Amino acid sequence: MLSTILWLPLAVGLVGFMLPKRLVGAWALLGSVGSLVLAIALVAGFDGASGALQESVSDSWIPDLGVRYELGVDGLSVFMVLLTSILWTASILWSAFAHPDRARNYFFMLAVGQTAALGAFMAQDLLLFVLFFDLMLIPFYFLIGGWGTGDRIRATIKMIVFTLVGSLLMLVAAIATAVLSSDAAGGLTFSLEALRQVPLEDGSQYWIFCFFALAFLVKMPAFLVHGWMPDAYRAAPLPVLVLLSGVLSKVGAYGFLRVVIPLFPDASIHFQELMMIIAVASIVYGSIMAFTQTNVRLIAGYSSVAQLGFITLGIFSLRPDGGDGAVIQMFNHGLVVAAVLFVIAILYERSETEDIREMGGLAQRAPVLAILFVIVTMATLAIPGSANFVGEFFILTGAFESKVALALIASVGIALAAFYALRMYQRTMHNRLPAGMVSREITLREGAVLVPLVGCIVALAFYPGLITTRGEVSVERSLASLEEPETVAQR
């Protein structure tokens, strides 16, 4: 089951090379819908009460290094798989109508990206995870460089250098983890389950933690290592940006829960404060930047920095509440940011600009679009009743339980979110219609992408328990390895 979901997009992409150009988009869409259906079936068949891995696959891959082809999903990853499938379907749907230049390559790259992202969420072998994590970058390099706008080559080089600095160091760290624990584990193994049984000694944990944390923070991106983000956000084609912002950034957060905390519990406790400070700095910095930017893409980008800051804060509260909040927020943010970016794409088609100072008045003739956008905006600012509210509430509960001062500062971020989200809505939809801008109602094609996304957001607002109940067992399992050292310290 998991292998099918994982490799289906790649297979579809490869077959796409043999099809006539006109059909490639439709074929890719068909494939992505297929994997979405499989992902929904996966979630439906998921046993929420058990924290163990489900649908596990385990085959020998590189026996000499003890690397295995191990896949599995638990409460942490099953919704990430769903999110990946949803957003890829949306993105391919949008692209298929847009008829991109060199369509076969375009959809092939999208397919490689989907397989890589799904692989990163499913992998239960450390090296397999690192491999997929690195692989994700390649298609996005080509997509931004080949189909982007503006100074795309500089943007791609910057993105690659930033992200690979992190992820290649992660490769060394992963190998070091396996080699250093090979004596205790009885042979070289990269299996996450086996590695968590034999924690490393503190000194090794510390530097390995730093390498992993750097890779994940860059991917998010977090404050201080976000330098690639503005250029990449400006240059990326919008359907690609949806994936970059909606899915790829989550892999970093997911990596903390899947790899870092279970494998390096002592280091996680040791660096907890530092990570929370980075998280809070990301929240404050991202919110303020989002409030001052005039480019809609950058508003979305910096708001992502802030939202990912919240997620990191929840994870490194090292409390079950915070972790739960992070898991639901990862899903929420993926949906919401995707919706925001598609709205931006719709706005661009009406105004030919991405500067909010030159927009306005769209709501006059486009009430449906305005309503959809207002729902998305409300979700962004985590208004009570939205699923984001649930997520941020849990995160802050966790944060208050562990570090009150930092939690207080983080709470300010929620207020700031209201500022930037409402400002963007107001400047684009209200006020007077400027010259050169056409107020046009949402088209069928735009609606086909946006309405289901908004539908998901609304549905989740009514029933956030869908994720939280399934996530919490796994979060507790992920945090379980923290408890042993704590009890040792208390004794």
CA angle 144, 145, 147 (to 5 degrees): 65
For residue 165, the tally of other CB atoms under 10 A from its CB is 14
CA angle 383, 386, 389 (to 5 degrees): 65
- Does the protein bind another protein through residue 11 (CB under 8 A)? no
Q: What is the smallest separation between the CB atom of 180 and another protein, expressed in angstroms?
A: 8
Within positions 252 to 311, which residues make up the interface with another protein, using CB under 8 A? none
- Does the protein bind another protein through residue 14 (CB under 8 A)? no
Q: Are 479 and 320 in contact (CB under 8 A)?
A: yes
- Does the protein bind another protein through residue 21 (CB under 8 A)? no
- Does the protein bind another protein through residue 172 (CB under 8 A)? yes
- Does the protein bind another protein through residue 209 (CB under 8 A)? no
Within positions 100 to 119, which residues make up the interface with another protein, using CB under 8 A? 102, 105
Within positions 350 to 409, which residues make up the interface with another protein, using CB under 8 A? none
- Give the chain's count of helices (H) and strands (E): 23, 2
Q: Which is nearer to another protein, 92 or 174 (CB)?
A: 174
- Does the protein bind another protein through residue 146 (CB under 8 A)? yes
- Does the protein bind another protein through residue 19 (CB under 8 A)? no
Q: Which is nearer to another protein, 149 or 443 (CB)?
A: 149
E-strand stretches of 11-117: 54-62, 67-73
Sole window of 27-35, 153-161, 270-278, 461-469 interacting with another protein (rule: CB under 8 A): 153-161
Q: Are 451 and 319 in contact (CB under 8 A)?
A: no
Within positions 58 to 77, which residues make up the interface with another protein, using CB under 8 A? 62-65
Q: What are the backbone angles phi and psi of residue 317, rounded to the nearest 5°?
A: -70, -20
Q: What is the smallest separation between the CB atom of 175 and another protein, expressed in angstroms?
A: 5
Sole window of 85-93, 146-154, 260-268, 342-350 interacting with another protein (rule: CB under 8 A): 146-154
Q: Which is nearer to another protein, 138 or 198 (CB)?
A: 138
- Does the protein bind another protein through residue 251 (CB under 8 A)? no
3-state secondary structure 277-298: HHHHHHHHHHHHHHHHCCEHHH
- Does the protein bind another protein through residue 153 (CB under 8 A)? yes
Sole window of 77-85, 132-140, 237-245, 267-275 interacting with another protein (rule: CB under 8 A): 132-140
- Does the protein bind another protein through residue 210 (CB under 8 A)? no
Contacting another protein (CB under 8 A), which of 21, 37, 151, 371?
A: 151
Q: Which is nearer to another protein, 89 or 205 (CB)?
A: 205
Q: Which is nearer to another protein, 211 or 394 (CB)?
A: 211
Q: Which residues contact 195 (CB under 8 A, 6 or more apart)?
A: 126, 177, 178, 181, 185, 189, 263
Q: What is the smallest separation between the CB atom of 10 and another protein, expressed in angstroms?
A: 10
Q: What is the smallest separation between the CB atom of 23 and another protein, expressed in angstroms?
A: 18
In DSSP notation, 177-222 reads HHHHTHHHHTS---BHHHHHHSPPPHHHHHHHHHHHHHHHHHHTTP
Residue 470's closest CA among 47, 38, 2, 45? 47
Sole window of 175-183, 359-367, 377-385, 482-490 interacting with another protein (rule: CB under 8 A): 175-183
For residue 14, the tally of other CB atoms under 10 A from its CB is 12
- Does the protein bind another protein through residue 325 (CB under 8 A)? no
Sole window of 29-37, 89-97, 158-166, 388-396 interacting with another protein (rule: CB under 8 A): 158-166
Q: Which two tokens stand for residue 386?
A: 């939205």
For residue 491, the tally of other CB atoms under 10 A from its CB is 5
Return d(Cα 364, Cα 370) in angstroms, integer.
9
Q: Which is nearer to another protein, 34 or 146 (CB)?
A: 146
Q: Which residues contact 115 (CB under 8 A, 6 or more apart)?
A: 6, 7, 9, 10
CA angle 473, 477, 478 (to 5 degrees): 120
| Residues within the interface to another protein (CB under 8 A) | 62-65, 102, 105, 127, 130-132, 134-135, 137-138, 141-142, 145-146, 151-154, 156-157, 160-161, 164-165, 168-169, 171-172, 175-176, 179-180, 188
